[in-house]
Chain A
Amino acid sequence: MTELTLPADIKAMSFEDALGELERIVRQLEDGKAKLDDAIGFYERGTLLKRHCEGKLREAQEKVDRITLGGDGTVGMEPARID
């Protein structure tokens, strides 16, 4: 299968929504009531959602910045070192 690019609507989804829809799709497929064409569509979307979820989980990064306030009250940030 060629690498499908994530559709915009999935890309915009939060992890929670994507996971929720993925679980719904899995349940629907497991019910076994879906028409074949629908089932294939579901499967493809489920695969994309799974990839999106994995991406969201993969981007976990630890980064700590510290807010700095400029003289005019503007908010900036700089890396913080907390030990």
Chain B
Amino acid sequence: MYHARAMTQDFPDSPPPSAADLGYAGATPVAGGNLPELSVSDLSRALKRTVEETFGYVRVRGEVSQPKRVSSGHLYLRLKDDQAVIEAVCWKGTVMRLAVKPEDGMEVVCTGRLTTYPGRSQYQLIIETMELAGEGALLKMLEERKRRLAAEGLFDAQRKRPLPFLPRVIGVVTSPTGAVIRDILHRLADRFPRHVLLWPVAVQGEQAAPQVARAIQGFNAIAPGGPVPRPDLLIVARGGGSLEDLMPFNEEIVVRAAAASQIPLISAVGHETDTTLIDFASDRRAPTPTAAAEMAVPVRAELMAQVMECGRRLEGTANRLLAERRNRVEGLARGLGDPRALLEGCAQRLDDRGERLALSMTGLIRRHRTEVAKLGAGLRHPAQVLGLAYARLDIASRGLSGGVTRLLTDRTTRAQTLAQRLTPQPLVRRAEEGGVRLADLGRRLDASFGRAVADGARRLEGQAKLLETLSYRGVLARGFALVTTADGHPVTKAADAPAGGRVRVEFIDGAVGATLDGEGAPAPVPTPAPPRESAPPPKPRASARPGGQGSLF
């Protein structure tokens, strides 16, 4: 996969070095063997010189293989590509300064010089610098590391601690020289001057990562209350640089230290566009050191204004509150009214009532006294009462005797008057008048009696005549006869007249006895009876009957 190739300096197109070149001018060529004879050491030395002079400074790219750091501090490794391998060594002093820590399989570009190791017939590259080969590879490595650390949970959101609002002591991990610390201090001074503890570290090179990690741990190790104040907040800062320059802040040791920090930590490494792995582990990431200072502290002037504003509102609202309450109390007090006025009113009423009470008492007594006096005045002594009674009796008795006398006189007078008026004259007159009327009435009685008698006689006569005309005798007179039974009962029906029976037939002038011969008598010849007197005309029935009775005649 890696098409690594050794990028060595082109070997000069000059002929191979002669022996003279190699500095063996003194050697004598051997005949038949024109070549001078060299000792191994000579040759090796010559080779060494040649290699070192020719390859005094090379830049070679290859893949790191089997890096091994020995106890002496030197680092041995091999650089290889698909066809060749070259031994390499990095001396202890250089290892510290390396930008990258070589790992197996890492593709790197190294600079250094070649030398030989005559004792082993070897040549090797002495590495001066080492960097990752190509951005992509470096990023790939970082990405892989980030993934691994994230899998451990080092970057978890719940690990992030809030920054203190106003830290008292700020620990800054950065280089003591350079713009970064100045920028931070300036911005802090602008906003809110604080006590700053600077932990000086190298910010690039081999030593940077361990120093930064040590500084973070060191700040966390400071116990509160000790001679050195424990910071409330840490800032790990570095200025901008190449990816390689920023590599210490990608180192695992630094990332782990930042993640483990108990003190909230702001990372501010490189410029805004640079992101290092410490940014993922820190509690806040600032794009620049200046921005880190802004995150670290609020603006003092604004806070003072805020506190003053709060104080002003506190005063105002307290005053308003009191004024409001006072107003209400006063308002209510007004509603209560003046107690003296109330008392005065009551006192006045009391006086009034008292006065009236006194007055009413005397008035009452006076009234009663008057009444008593009146009643007393009306009260008579019994003797007086008796005197009065006697007087009244006397008056009454006097009145009584006078009255009787007067009554008698009166009655006497009236009797005398009546007596004077009592005369027989009227009686006489009335007797006379009665006599006259009696005489008159006597005459009138006689006359009227005579008239009445005469009248009666006349009427009697008339009636007698009428009686006579109305009697059956009248009828008899007109020719009719009355048939009776022997004992005198009239026979009015033929059925009552049995044949052979004895009947009496009365006529006007007398009666005869007759015997009835029964039915079948011849009907009489109707002859008109001559009217003999002014008798009433016969009754229709009687006229209708002659047919039945004709035979009798």
> For residues 69 through 83 of chain A, which have their beta carbon under 8 Å from a beta carbon of chain B?
69, 75-77, 80, 82-83
Asked if residues A14 and B304 are in contact (CB atoms below 8 Å), the reply is no
Asked if residues B193 and A32 are in contact (CB atoms below 8 Å), the reply is no
Chain B residues whose C-beta falls within 8 Å of the C-beta of A10 in the assembled complex: none
Chain B residues whose C-beta falls within 8 Å of the C-beta of A30 in the assembled complex: 313, 317
* Total number of B residues with any Cβ neighbor in A under 8 Å: 39
Interface size on A, as a range, is 35 or more
User: Given A60-B192, A64-B196, does the pair A39, B321 have CB atoms closer than 8 Å?
Assistant: yes
Asked if residues B218 and A67 are in contact (CB atoms below 8 Å), the reply is yes
Asked if residues A43 and B314 are in contact (CB atoms below 8 Å), the reply is yes
Asked if residues A16 and B314 are in contact (CB atoms below 8 Å), the reply is no
> For residues 184 through 205 of chain B, which have their beta carbon under 8 Å from a beta carbon of chain A?
185, 188-189, 192-200
> For residues 56 through 74 of chain A, which have their beta carbon under 8 Å from a beta carbon of chain B?
56-57, 60-67, 69
Complex Cα distance, B182 from A82, in Å, reads: 7
Query: Could you say which of B165, B199, B324 contacts A32, with CB atoms under 8 Å apart?
Result: B324
Asked if residues A64 and B198 are in contact (CB atoms below 8 Å), the reply is yes
Asked if residues B307 and A54 are in contact (CB atoms below 8 Å), the reply is yes
Asked if residues B310 and A19 are in contact (CB atoms below 8 Å), the reply is yes
Is A26 an interface residue, CB under 8 A from the partner? yes
Asked if residues B307 and A53 are in contact (CB atoms below 8 Å), the reply is yes
Chain B residues whose C-beta falls within 8 Å of the C-beta of A47 in the assembled complex: 311, 314
Chain A residues whose C-beta falls within 8 Å of the C-beta of B548 in the assembled complex: none
Chain A residues whose C-beta falls within 8 Å of the C-beta of B199 in the assembled complex: 67
Query: Could you say which of A14, A54, A75, A83 contacts B228, with CB atoms under 8 Å apart?
Result: A75
Asked if residues A61 and B195 are in contact (CB atoms below 8 Å), the reply is yes
Asked if residues B193 and A60 are in contact (CB atoms below 8 Å), the reply is yes
Asked if residues B176 and A22 are in contact (CB atoms below 8 Å), the reply is no
Asked if residues A65 and B318 are in contact (CB atoms below 8 Å), the reply is no
Asked if residues B314 and A26 are in contact (CB atoms below 8 Å), the reply is yes
Asked if residues A65 and B196 are in contact (CB atoms below 8 Å), the reply is yes
Asked if residues A67 and B197 are in contact (CB atoms below 8 Å), the reply is yes
Asked if residues B314 and A29 are in contact (CB atoms below 8 Å), the reply is yes
> For residues 435 through 465 of chain B, which have their beta carbon under 8 Å from a beta carbon of chain A?
none
Complex Cα distance, B200 from A82, in Å, reads: 12
Chain B residues whose C-beta falls within 8 Å of the C-beta of A15 in the assembled complex: 165-166, 303
Please list 25 pairs of residues, one from A and one from B, whose beta carbons are closer than 8 Å in the complex, sorted by A's number: A19-B303, A19-B310, A23-B310, A29-B314, A30-B313, A32-B320, A32-B321, A34-B321, A47-B311, A47-B314, A54-B307, A60-B193, A60-B194, A61-B194, A64-B195, A66-B200, A67-B198, A67-B199, A67-B218, A75-B222, A75-B228, A77-B197, A82-B181, A82-B182, A83-B182
A contact residues vs B (CB 8 Å cutoff): 14-16, 19, 22-23, 25-26, 29-30, 32, 34, 36, 39-40, 43, 46-47, 50, 53-54, 56-57, 60-67, 69, 75-77, 80, 82-83
8 closest pairs, A vs B, by CB?
A16-B165, A62-B193, A29-B317, A43-B318, A67-B199, A53-B307, A15-B166, A50-B311
A-B contacts besides A29-B317, A83-B182, 4 pairs, CB < 8 Å:
A43-B318, A62-B188, A63-B194, A64-B195
